[in-house]
Amino acid sequence: MAGGKKFNISEVAQAAGVSKMTVSRMLNNTGIVAAATREKVQRVIDRYHYQPNPIARGLASRRTFVLGLMIFEHMDMDYHFFQLIFFGVEQEARLLGYDMLLFSNPRKAGGRENRCLGLVDGVICFGTNIDNKAVEYLEDRGIPHVVIGRRLWLKANPRSCVVDYFNGFREAVNYLLKLGHRRIAFWGGCRDFSVDLEKHQGYRQALCEAGIPGEEGMDLYDEEAARIRNCIERYRPTALIMEGTRVPLPLLINAREMGLRIPEDLSVIYTRRDFIDIHSLYDLAGIHELTMISVPRRELGAAGFRLLNRIIEGEENVPGEVTIGMEFILGESCAPPGKAPESGRKNGCGKEDTCEKIKNQI
């Protein structure tokens, strides 16, 4: 390939000693190509760094290899939560040769802004507040699409990739029960958000299966969790599951001020990896990592793309929903009730003004 000359498909076929049609079938997966022939063509492609012409490829296959992303969120994408979903989609799509087209104002679906939808093979929708009408627009026009996350729909019935929050939180409670805890609280989440209701249902189900009656003050949502100190003093939980962004630092500050040690006096499971500063955690609790249940966000995005690609490929029996389990990450914040601290472990950094400094940062 002297002088930087780019090979075309005819030259690849000639160099490999096969027909142009054979190379085309291999690149577009439109026919059977023998393994030995495929390897021979691939060696030529690798040697000369051949890249198919995307326009010609699209015309031949009636596909553009462009993936649409509708993000129903501000562009900071919720402190990395949606960023990792995006990265999961992008990584999986790149493996199959897709480029991505971002629709940053998807609520205008159907208007002039979304004429670009004709350029995409399919669309992935994600974000906190996915608009029903935008998804209905995709469905009405037969544009392949997948929604990441479970939602309540008015008319649309999209395929979706969801997280199994119910069993994730149920298993978190079971882990604490196995450690010997019986007074287990769950604080956080929004009362009007369906996935947060699902988390609380999983928590209550585990307690019910263990024969432990629920107490109203042990099962609180974000708007009620401001009463953390009063709840700890009144209900005396020995273990706590925290959901959302508002709870961890206020809880750790109140626990320290009340003389409660983590995990000896209060075991803690948290659900968000990106809202706790490791230095504050050590200053307040003397530990380096909370035990967590976490959404595998990259895998969620990757699974959403794989589901969409099955639709684009025209597969039969594509499931309406793909479920991804939560990850359990063992840290240092859980122990049997009243367990003595390990030798040499200190609770907090010993600085008297630690709580006041961190309060000023919240």
Query: pLDDT band at 357, cuts 50/70/90?
Result: very low
Tell me what the mean pLDDT of segment 103-123 comes to: 71
Residues 302 and 244 in one domain: no
Tell me what the mean pLDDT of segment 274-301 comes to: 82
Tokens at 176, concatenated? 């604490």
Distances, alpha carbon 33 to alpha carbons 20, 25, 111, 200, 314, in Å:
12, 7, 43, 53, 20
Residues 198 and 285 in one domain: yes
Tokens at 96, concatenated? 């199959």
Distances, alpha carbon 211 to alpha carbons 182, 206, 216, 275, 310, in Å:
10, 9, 16, 33, 44
Residues 209 and 98 in one domain: no
Least confident of 213-217, 313-317, 326-330: 213-217
Distances, alpha carbon 21 to alpha carbons 42, 226, 287, in Å:
15, 68, 63
Q: Where in the sequence is the domain holding 16, given as residue range(s)? A: 2-61
Helical (H) or strand (E) element with 240: strand 239-243
Q: Is the pLDDT of residue 349 over 60?
A: no
Q: Is the pLDDT of residue 208 over 70?
A: yes
Write the DSSP symbol of residue 329. E
> Which is more confident, 233 or 239?
239
Q: Is the pLDDT of residue 204 over 80?
A: yes
CB atoms near residue 117 (< 10 Å): 20
Tokens at 87, concatenated? 């990265």
CB 345 within 8 A of CB 274: no
Residues 213 and 347 in one domain: yes
pLDDT score, position 350: 46
pLDDT score, position 145: 94
Residues 181 and 237 in one domain: yes
How many separate domains does the chain show? Answer: 3
CATH at 259: 3.40.50.2300
Show which of 10, 27, 61 is a domain's final residue. 61
Mean pLDDT for the chain?
Answer: 81
CATH at 32: 1.10.260.40
pLDDT digits (tens, 9 = 90+) for 80-101: 678 889 999 999 999 888 999 9
Residues 120 and 91 in one domain: yes
Q: Is the pLDDT of residue 47 over 60?
A: yes
Q: Is the pLDDT of residue 338 over 60?
A: yes
Q: Is the pLDDT of residue 176 over 90?
A: yes
Nearest to 12 by CA among 53, 71, 63: 53
> Which is more confident, 153 or 3?
153
Show which of 41, 61, 81 is a domain's final residue. 61
Q: Is the pLDDT of residue 192 over 50?
A: yes
Distances, alpha carbon 279 to alpha carbons 17, 248, 262, 289, in Å:
63, 13, 15, 10
Task: Report the alpha-carbon distance of residue 13 to residue 15 in Å, rounded.
Answer: 6
Residues 175 and 311 in one domain: no
> Which is more confident, 205 or 286?
205
Show which of 10, 44, 61 is a domain's final residue. 61
Nearest to 295 by CA among 334, 269, 328, 247: 328
pLDDT score, position 164: 96
Task: Report the alpha-carbon distance of residue 19 to residue 338 in Å, rounded.
Answer: 75
pLDDT digits (tens, 9 = 90+) for 62-85: 678 999 998 876 655 445 678 889
Tell me what the mean pLDDT of segment 331-346 comes to: 69
Amino acid, res. 193: F
Q: Is the pLDDT of residue 4 over 50?
A: no
Task: Report the alpha-carbon distance of residue 126 to residue 94 in Å, rounded.
Answer: 19
Residues 226 and 355 in one domain: yes
Bridge partners, 141 (sequence order):
none
Least confident of 124-138, 174-188, 303-317: 124-138
pLDDT score, position 347: 46
Residues 95 and 179 in one domain: no
Distances, alpha carbon 136 to alpha carbons 69, 157, 189, 236, in Å:
16, 8, 28, 48
CB 185 within 8 A of CB 200: no
Distances, alpha carbon 127 to alpha carbons 27, 159, 305, in Å:
34, 15, 15
Residues 143 and 239 in one domain: no
Residues 91 and 140 in one domain: yes
Residues 222 and 342 in one domain: yes
Measured in whole angstroms, the distance separating CA 65 from the mean position of its chain's CA atoms is 24
CB 124 within 8 A of CB 146: yes
Q: Is the pLDDT of residue 211 over 90?
A: yes
Task: Walk across the sheet containing 122-127 and list its strands.
Answer: 99-103, 66-72, 122-127, 145-148, 159-163, 321-324
